[in-house]
Structure formats: C-alpha cells, structure tokens
Structure 1
Amino acid sequence: MAQESPTSRLTITVAVMLAVVMQVLDLTIVNVALTYMRGSLHANSDQITWVLTSYMVANVIILPLTGLLVERYGQRNIMLWSVVGFVISSVLCGQSHSLLEIVLWRFLQGIFGASLAPVGQTIMLGAYPSNKRGQAMAILGMGIMLGPILGPTLGGYLTDTLSWRWVFYVNIPFGILAFLLMQTIPDGGKSSTPRPVDWTGFALMALGLGSLQGVLSLGDQDNWFSSRTIIILTIGAVLGMIFFVWRSLSVKYPVVDLRLLKDRNLSIGSMGIGIFGLALFGTMVILPIMLETLMHYEAFTAGLVMAPQGIGAMLAMMLAGRLLGRGVNPRNIVLVGVIFGAVGTYFTTLYSLDISMAWLIWPSFIRGIGFGLVTIPLFTLAFSTLKKSQQAEGSGIFNLMRTLGGSIGIAIVSTVASQETQVGWNQMGGFINPFNPAFHHYLAAAGMTQNPTTWQVLGNVVLYSQANMRGMLDAFVLVFYGFLVMIPLIIFLKKPPPDSAPPTHLSE
C-alpha cells in the first residue's frame, strides 16, 4: 500500500479511531444501564444479561472471519458497511420496547462491530511508514483502552441525565463522522480470487464459540453445572470446537486456518493477549462494583477514580510506540509492562474498606502503565514471524483471543468474587456469637446491646461489607497471578528479525 501524505494520514487516523472507540465503548457503556433497562423492558435480572451476552456471542463468531471478508470485499467496504450497520442497529436498540427486540438488535450490533478493530488496525498500519508503525499502533491502542475506561462513566452520566436509550444513541454522531471521513481511505486487501467459504466449518465454529460465550456469560448467575442450560451449552461448545478443529485441519480452505498456530510467536502471543484480556476486563468488572457498592462512590466519581488507569495506559502506549520505532526489543518492553501490571495489581490485594482515594488512584495508574506497555509490543511480537499472506488470518485469531480472554476473565473473576464472598461470610459469621468475649467487647465499644436490631446491623453492615471485600481481594489476587503467568510465555517468544516490521497490509 502506498504511504499516505500527512494530511490524509491524519484523516484516516481520526476516521479509524472514531469507529474503533465507538465499538469498544459499547462493550462497557451498557453495563451501568442494565438496571434501568430491566424495568423498562419488563425483564428479570437473569434475562437482561442477554443484552450483553448476545453482543459478545456475535463478536466471537464474526472475528475469525475478518481475513475472509477483507479478501472478498476490501478494507474500505468492510469498514463502511460495519459503521453503517453498527449505527443503524444502535438506533434500533434505543427504540426497543421488549427484551426480544433489544437482544436481536444487540446481536446485529455485535456482528457489524466485530471487524472494526482488526480491519482498522490494518488500515492504520498501511497508512504509516515502517518507522512510525509502532506509533500508529499506540494511537489505535489508546482508542481501544478508552472504551473500558470511559464506558462506565459516560454510561452512568447519560442514564442519569437522559435515559438508558442514550447509551445507544450516543453512537450516532461518532458513526456519521467516521463514515464521512472514511471516504478518503484507499481501498485494499481485496483479492481477485477469494477463497471459497466453508459453510460447514462456519456452522461448527458458530456452534462452538457461541455456546462457549453463553457458558461464560451465564455460568456464574446460573450456578454453573447445576444448571441444565449450562450443561447443554457446554456440550455444544465442546462438540462444536472439536469438530471445528477437525474440519479446519482437513479442508484446503478452512474458515479459520488453525495451521497458523504452528507459528510459535502467533500461538504464544495469542495466549498472552488472552491472559491480558483476563487481567484488563476482570479488573474493569470488579473495581467499579467495589467502588460503588462497598465504598459508596457515585458512578461518576467511580469513573473519575478509575480514569488514571487509562491515562497511564495511554502514556505508556505512546512511549512503547517510540521505543519500538528506535529498535528496542519488544519482548523487553512487554516484560517491563507485565512487571508494572503485577506491581499495580499487588497493591490492590492489600485494600480495605478504610483506604483513601489516593490508594485507589496510584495503583491504578501503575497498572495502566503495565497495560500500555504490553499491548503494542505483544502485537508486534505475535506478527513478526508471519508472512504477509498469513497476517489477515492471524489478525482474526489474535483479536478473537483478546475477546475470549476478556469473556473468560469476567466469568472467572465474577465467580471467584461471588464464591469467596460466601466463604468469608460463613467464616466471619462464626465469630459473631454470644460465647465469643471479643463479640461482647465490640458491642460495648459500639454502645450496642443484644437485640434483633443489633443482629441485623451486624449482618448487613459488618458481614456484608467485609465478606464482599474479601471476595474482591481474592479476585484481585487471581488477576495478579494472571500477570505472573504471562512472564514465562513472553520469554519463549522469538525475538523479531532485525528487518521485521509490523504488518502493513493484512491480506497482501
């Protein structure tokens, strides 16, 4: 792809950033509005989670098809159709008056939004010269990181001041501006002889990944394998994935070429980005719950407290881009990022209900630096040993693992927090009894006597808060170990060849 002039490059950058931020923002902005949507759409707490699940299911099904779609229709057409479809389905979501309607439109939203990040990534890299591609990825990475950071705050503000429908309508101006600017994007990636579509493989992939996403999204609330639905979905996921892998390895033109995972850097890099997704999205799930439920912060204040993590990530991404441009080994940058992420997360394992706001802010900033230093160099390492003709498929696999890692992280972290909260409740509750001398000392110091109100206060205030805090801390411990697991993976990555550069065109 010919390099663009600085003016055209700026236009392309803004267009891609708008589209990517719009899509990533929608992963988290809806969460804070679920309670309001539940009442308006006459759904219970279990049913309303399908608003999230349907979107994620569509994403994981379409992501691996990115390379095939680009081959058939070209990069610009995919971006334009995706933006138009995403905005239209967003409007339909905002107009929904029943649970069935919004689940359907959210599924379509997930279908149209899935290709925006990987194709936008390709366009950005193609528009920049080789010595500035690290900076290009840093810019795009900042957009991807903005979604989880701004989503809860912006969603809470729109829901409180307008209505839950505006968490969808907010996509309209982003989408219109992105569509207009994308007219300047040069088309590329389209093949004169695209591969035939393996519809059998696609059906097996949809069954396997869709069922797996359903298990991850609904497992915790349905008490996992005590639920018949979860058992059925698990069987569907296992059978679907087994036959999908068999099909992919036995046909000439599979939907997703799993043979690429023979490349050590792509396979290990994909595992690494999956664990990274666990750490990022796991943290983004439990931290706002802790701030709003246990520390009684307002939604907007909680968002401001979490913002330093995004600031740290953006600064680190800019630094990582410059270091890559100067030839620094990306493996070393990733290792430093993992250490920063682990240190920042370790301090969260020491939290209590009495910590000040400063203890919330600076560990988040340190953890954000870790996130920023990991993202771009890990992408560079994962693709450094692939041929250009293989990079479209590799992009789909890499981004799929990031999405699945986030889903798995949310499911595991939520389960750990829930289960350990119950364990803490049972253990601490055993100390609250009339035969414990410390119990009488506590009542005397608090000026309380043994009566029904006292037991209610102790149960609701002391046990509820402390047990939930224990569950949160155990979830943070899991995220901390997730960072540590990444260290041996990074060590096994091959150092990029001296003349390697990030992919310029994912389907050349």
Structure 2
Amino acid sequence: METASLQQDSLVEYGFRRVIITITAVLCALLEIVDTTIVNVALNDMKGSLGATLTDVAWVITAYAIANVIVIPMTSWLSQQFGRRNYFAASIIIFTTASFLCGNATNIWELVFFRFIQGMGGGALLVTAQTIITESYPPAKRGMAQAIYGMGVIVGPTLGPPLGGYIIDNFSWPYIFYINVPLGIIATLLTLSFVRSPKYEGSKKQSVKEVDWWGMVFLIMFIGSLQFVLEHGQQDDWFEDRTILTLSILSAVGLFLFIWRELVYENPIVNLRVLKDKNLQVGTVMSFILGFGLFGSTFIIPIYTQSILGWPATDAGMLLIPSSIMTGIMMPFIGKMIQNGVPQKYMVALGLCVFFGFSFIMYSRITNDTGSEHMFWPLILRGVGLGLLFVPVMTLSLSTLKGKAIGEGASFTGMMRQLGGSFGIALITTFISRDSQHHRVNLISHLDETKFEVQQRILQLQQSFIAKGYSTNEALGKAHQIIEGSVMKQATILSYMDVFLYLGVLFLICVPFVLMIKQGKTIVDTSSIH
C-alpha cells in the first residue's frame, strides 16, 4: 500500500505543468460532451444534404451514444493494458480523425459509421480525463480537482445546442465536426508532452488469450441493445415493435451472461466485485439520477421553448447558458467546502432539495406564452442544484474505495450517469406523447359546443375565414382545426408541467436515502481516481 501511495504521489504535478494538464483534460472532456448535443440542432440540415429520412438521421445520435456507453466500463482495464497516457492520446486521435471523416461523409450511413468510431474514442476521454486531472493534484486539493473537471461535464451538454446553432446559421453542418480537428491535434500534442502514466504494483499486460473477449461480447450485447431500445423505443412504439422487443430480450440476456462471466472469470474486463462497497452502490444510483436530471432537463427545456413557444434553436440553446455558468461558479466553492470537511451527504441532500425547487417553480410557471424572464431564476436554481450534486456525488461514491478499485468505481459512475441521461430522455419523450393524449381527452370532455362561449369562439373564427374567401363549410372546418390545435397545445403544456413535477418528486424522494449514507473516513485522501 505504501508503494502504491508513493507511485500515486509521483503523478502529482505543480505549477505550469499542472495548469497545462488541467486545461488538456478539461478540453478533452468538453470535446466529448459537447459532441453528444451539438448535432441535435443540425439534424434537419444533415437530412436535406444527405437525402436521409428523420429515422435514418436519428442514428447519428444513437450510434455515438451506443459507442460511448460501451467503452466507458472498459476504460479502467484498457488504461492498465496500454498505459494511461498512450490510451488517452490514442482516444483523442481516434476521436479527432473520426470527426474529420464525419465532416467528409457523403451519405448518411457513412456518417453513422464514423459517429460510432468517434463515440468509441470519445467515451474513453470522459473517465480518463477525470483520472488524469485528479491524480495531478495533491490529496488535499483533490476535491477542487473534481470541481474543475465537473465544470466541463456540467457545462458541456448546454454548450452544444447554441454552438451548433451558430455554426449551422453561419457555416454548414460539417463544421460542427471540423471544429474538433485543431482542438484534437493540440490536445494530442499536450497529452504526449505532459501526461504521465502510473505504474501499478503487480500489474501486467494480459496476453491475447487472457483477455476477457466473452465479457466484451456480453457487455456490447447488453449495453448496445439497451441504448438502442432507449433511443428508438418511443418512435417505434416500444414493445409493439418486433425489433425493440427482440433487442430488449437480447439486452436482458446480455446482462445476465455479462454478470455471470465477470464473476467467474479470473481476469474480468469489468470488476463487478467493487460494487460490494455500500457507498459505491448508492453512488451509482445517485449518478443515474443525476444523469436523469441533468440530461432530462437539458433535453426538455429546449424542446418546450421550440415546440410550444416557437423559439429558434439558437435562442433555445442560449437559455440554458446562465444555468451552466451558475454551476461553473458553484464548483470552486463546492471543492473548497469538501476540502474543509463539510460532509458530502448533506450537500447532496441540499442539492436534491434545490433541484426539486427548480422543478416545482417550472411546473407552476410554464404556459403557452412564458417568457425567458420567467425561466431565468428557476434555471439559476437548477445550476445551484447541479453544482451541489455533481462533485459531492462523485467523491462520496469513491470515498471508501482504495487503490485500483477507485478507477473501476469511477467507470461505473460514469456509465450510470450516461445511462441515466438515456433513460431520462426516453421516459420523458414517451411520457409527453402518452400524457398529452390523456390530457387532450380530458380537455375535450370539458369543451361543450352547447356553451355560449364555445359557440362564440367558433363563430368568430368561422367569420374570419369567410372574410378570407373560404366557403361557410370550409370556414367551419378551419375553425374546428384551430380549436383542436389549441386543445392539443394546451394538452402538451400540461404534460410538460407533469414532467417537471415528477422529476422534482423523484429528486425529493432520494433525500432520506442520501442522509443514511455512511461517510468515508478519509474523503480527501481517497477521492483520487486510479
């Protein structure tokens, strides 16, 4: 243990080197996360220029997400096999090269294939960047290191849409990928020049025969199928669709075989035994819920402002920027509080309550003409809540782990955060679709055509269409269409309100469970990630 500690301390950097390594790691984490959301606003342009359908072009997002979630659990093992610096540099090169090839794609399936390769490189950047930045700081400052890394992870998803919107408005969609190329080259050169790899006592490279190939196959079968189901379930009507049903069964079988393989194989690609740690168990659940809230709210707010309020994509993306800035401002203070010994479980509980406050205010404020001024302060509250959640959840999850188990634990929390986001978006889209139909039925039941107010409204609309040259019957049909459109819009708004309410209640329910967590004895010393 003493040798491991000395090797760990030998990675600590000071002065200029630490600044450069910090910038490199945050830049790589940002590149990865921005790319998960930057394409959302470019899908229409891609569809037009590549001659693809909306279903086809959705694969541009799906392929990246599947590759991301597959590679994250394997990151700790791959780092040990190839050396952290080499693996990190190779991941940046794969990500950068695939970005260039994405921009040059001549048809939709080329683009989807290169996005998958980009996701394989990008998924590794997240956990490895967290590892590098944490180990570059001395134990007393590792809470601050987590906070610096957290700024990139929280700000990244909200930078994507406005940046993508600006590039689409002023250039063309390939440039959302080309922008990665110069940044990737700089990050590669800085990594090779400054980043160092740890040497673990007793670690050895596995031969080809020793590699857990079946573990990889079952992991890909489980995670890949699950991610596809989550991305495409709603549009394909879930289990009514044969493909979704088949992949759901395949995912369940993959999970069972993966767990069995990793528990019986001598050199597992993912060490599941690390999940015996009670804090890590709670931490993986909390990471899932954090991903659910972070990506779910990042998804629903732009959709609401664009579909209900009619905002352009750039304005919808810009709305979330103050929230992200607030989280960024919070991070150093959170890091300082952790250094000063403030128990993380109380910070997490407070963060959950604050996020409930944000959700409840949004529930009470959204209408069909809500302005940005009505959402500014609730979104600032969201930023505070996420700031109180992110770093404490990470450090608390790993607080009772030691040695290489910490790196393996970090992979689990990273994977669960990504899966939480996928589940959040899938459930929210499904809920809005189903719930709005339920509200429509209720609203129509109260729309009695024998009432004077309803008759007057239909008559006014009919008269306005007659004045535009429509016949009496055509004008009446148009009037009914407008009434139906108003009902549907109101029903959709009610379903958005429900989403915010249920999201807030979910976070509030977690508070008592968080308060029961056992605090690690040496949070600061053990919050490094190997």
- So what's the TM-score if we normalise by structure 1? 0.96
Answer yes or no: is the 8 Å Cα contact 1:12–1:184 preserved in 2: no
SS at match of 1:50: helix
Structure 1 residues 456 and 499: CA distance shift in structure 2, 3 A: closer
Q: Which residue of 1 aligns with 2:142?
A: 133
Separation of aligned partners in 2, 1:77 and 1:489: 40
Aligned runs of 1:21-32 on 2, under 5 Å? 21-32=30-41
Match of 2:289 among 267, 270, 275: 275
Match of 1:53 among 58, 62, 80: 62
Structure 1 residues 13 and 499: CA distance shift in structure 2, 3 A: closer
Answer yes or no: is the 8 Å Cα contact 1:338–1:483 preserved in 2: yes
Q: Which residue of 2 aligns with 1:310?
A: 324
Match of 1:485 among 491, 509, 518: 509
Separation of aligned partners in 1, 2:335 and 2:195: 24
Q: Which has the larger radius of gyration?
A: 2
Q: Which residue of 2 aligns with 1:501?
A: 525
Deviation at 1:173, TM superposition (A): 2.3
Separation of aligned partners in 2, 1:101 and 1:34: 15
- So what's the TM-score if we normalise by structure 2? 0.92
Q: Which residue of 2 aligns with 1:257?
A: 271
Answer yes or no: is the 8 Å Cα contact 1:433–1:439 preserved in 2: yes
- Which is further off, 62-71 or 435-444? 435-444
Structure 1 residues 10 and 348: CA distance shift in structure 2, 3 A: same
Q: Which residue of 2 aligns with 1:394?
A: 409
* 1:454 pairs with 2:479: yes
What is the percent sequence identity of the aligned residues? 35
The C-alpha deviation readout for 1:126-174, integer Å capped at 9, x for no partner, is 1111221111111111111121111111111111211111111111122
Structure 1 residues 446 and 131: CA distance shift in structure 2, 3 A: farther
Q: Which residue of 1 aligns with 2:20?
A: 11
Deviation at 1:445, TM superposition (A): 7.5
The C-alpha deviation readout for 1:85-110, integer Å capped at 9, x for no partner, is 10100111111111210111011011
The C-alpha deviation readout for 1:286-322, integer Å capped at 9, x for no partner, is 1101111211222222222221210221122221111
Q: Which residue of 1 aligns with 2:467?
A: none
SS at match of 2:314: helix
SS at match of 1:179: helix
AA matched with 1:26: D
> Where does structure 1 differ by over 6 angstroms across 4 or more consecutive aligned residues?
444-447
SS at match of 1:290: helix
Aligned runs of 1:56-75 on 2, under 5 Å? 56-75=65-84
The C-alpha deviation readout for 1:204-256, integer Å capped at 9, x for no partner, is 11101110001101001001011011011101101010111111112222111
Unaligned runs of 5+ in 1: none
Separation of aligned partners in 2, 1:187 and 1:253: 25
The C-alpha deviation readout for 1:18-76, integer Å capped at 9, x for no partner, is 11100000010011111111122222111211111111111111111111111111111
Deviation at 1:437, TM superposition (A): 3.5
Deviation at 1:500, TM superposition (A): 4.6
Separation of aligned partners in 1, 2:368 and 2:463: 22
* 1:469 pairs with 2:493: yes
Answer yes or no: is the 8 Å Cα contact 2:462–2:479 preserved in 1: no
Q: Which residue of 2 aligns with 1:194?
A: 205
Match of 1:360 among 372, 375, 383: 375
Answer yes or no: is the 8 Å Cα contact 1:62–1:115 preserved in 2: yes
- Number of residues paired by the alignment? 505
* 1:345 pairs with 2:363: no
Q: Which residue of 1 aligns with 2:87?
A: 78
Deviation at 1:505, TM superposition (A): 4.6
Q: Which residue of 2 aligns with 1:403?
A: 418
Structure 1 residues 445 and 364: CA distance shift in structure 2, 3 A: farther
Separation of aligned partners in 1, 2:244 and 2:38: 27
SS at match of 2:153: helix
Separation of aligned partners in 2, 1:61 and 1:485: 30
AA matched with 1:44: T
SS at match of 1:388: coil
The C-alpha deviation readout for 1:391-421, integer Å capped at 9, x for no partner, is 1211111111111111111101111111112
- Which is further off, 448-457 or 70-79? 448-457
Separation of aligned partners in 2, 1:423 and 1:70: 50
Answer yes or no: is the 8 Å Cα contact 1:142–1:314 preserved in 2: yes
Separation of aligned partners in 2, 1:29 and 1:181: 25
Q: Which residue of 1 aligns with 2:428?
A: 413
AA matched with 2:270: V
Aligned runs of 1:165-184 on 2, under 5 Å? 165-184=174-193
Separation of aligned partners in 2, 1:30 and 1:502: 37
SS at match of 2:404: helix
Answer yes or no: is the 8 Å Cα contact 1:73–1:190 preserved in 2: no
- Which is further off, 437-446 or 257-266? 437-446
